Amino acid sequence: MKVGFIGLGGIGKHMAINIAKADFDLTVTDLREPPLKELETHGAHISDNPREVAESADIILSSLPSNEASIEVALGSDGVLDGTQKGDIYIELSTISPEVVHSIASEAENKGVSVLDAPVSGGLKKRQEGLLTVMVGGDTKSVTRAMPVFEAFGNNIFHVGESGSGATIKLINNLLCGINYVSTMEALVLGAKSGLDIETLRAVISQSSGNSYAFEEVINNLSTRSPEPPQGEIATQGLHTIGKDVILANEMAQNMSVPLSVGSSALQPLLAGLANGWAHKEYWIILKLLEQLSGVEVMPRELRHSED
């Protein structure tokens, strides 16, 4: 089976590496040279554009940062559909609007190409170890055919429904995640303002009803990692990503006339961080906004460098 992969960002690069390690004949492309060189060391072939990737593969995957990027890569000049043939499968791993998935799937159908929307969830360790959760929308026959590729980077693979279902459930998941991130940081600021240190908060809450995966992730990150990515590297959990996902979830709810009183409130500090130019910093940079509003510091001083 020949596989193509487009988009070697913070998540896509690790998925592509695991596909290569699973001995698939892999061709990749990206706008940046460093991840291409890294994939080449794992045996991947390098192409100049999505069309060439599609021409070389039976199953093509893309992991991209936005609705606009997904539309351009799939439908634009030298895009995926320019290079596909009847019977190919195109897998959209990006977290995008269901409407975009439907648009791409409709165009692909005219060429006899199946489209699956299969966004993923999991932190850096799970990305590296190939243990991501995969939420797949699309027809059963295509899901079954693509399963060996999914199993190269995921261990919890859910076929959640028809086309667009994967994108929908991923936005709902990331809405909950964003709400939990923001509420955790607000709670930590409240605790610090009350005179409690971060380790006391960690010890007690981790063993109490306030604990959650998001709580543990946030407190571990802000205790050990600067929100500023190392020189020459990109954020592994960038504010632009969770901000975009919560925006899309709120838009989806608005389109269906579903009120999101908590979800819309959680969006506000994310928007403030994006407006402050922090899109490419790690998401817990927004703790700085909450600290400033409350006149207290939670993040260790040694991790607060180069944040502006």
Q: What does the pLDDT look like over 264-280, one tens digit per residue?
A: 999 999 999 999 999 99
- Architecture of the CATH domain 2-162: 3-Layer(aba) Sandwich (3.40)
Percent of the chain with pLDDT over 70: 99
Is the predicted pLDDT of residue 162 greater than 60, yes or no?
A: yes
The CA distance from 104 to 199, in Å, is 48
Annotated active-site positions, please?
A: 170
Predicted confidence at residue 305, as pLDDT, reads 58
Average pLDDT, the chain: 95
Predicted confidence at residue 24, as pLDDT, reads 98
The CATH class, in words, for 168-303 is mainly alpha
Residues of each domain in the chain carrying CATH 1.10.1040.10: 168-303
Q: Predicted confidence band at 302 (pLDDT cuts at 50, 70, 90)?
A: confident
Is the predicted pLDDT of residue 102 greater than 90, yes or no?
A: yes
Higher local confidence (pLDDT), 233 or 184: 184
For the segment 78-90, the average pLDDT, to the nearest whole number, is 97
Is the predicted pLDDT of residue 151 greater than 70, yes or no?
A: yes
pLDDT tens, 50-61?
A: 999 999 999 999
Sequence-separated (6 or more) residues with CB below 8 Å from residue 93: 7, 11, 12, 15, 61, 62, 63, 118, 119, 120
Higher local confidence (pLDDT), 29 or 233: 29
Residues of each domain in the chain carrying CATH 3.40.50.720: 2-162
What are the backbone dihedrals phi and psi of residue 59, each rounded to the nearest 5 degrees, phi first? -125, 125
pLDDT tens, 3-18?
A: 999 999 989 999 999 9
Name the region of 277 (left: φ>0; alpha: ψ -120 to 50; beta: rest).
left
Higher local confidence (pLDDT), 251 or 303: 251
For the segment 99-112, the average pLDDT, to the nearest whole number, is 97
Judge contact between 100 and 70, C-beta under 8 A: yes
Q: Predicted confidence band at 308 (pLDDT cuts at 50, 70, 90)?
A: very low
pTM of the shown model: 0.92
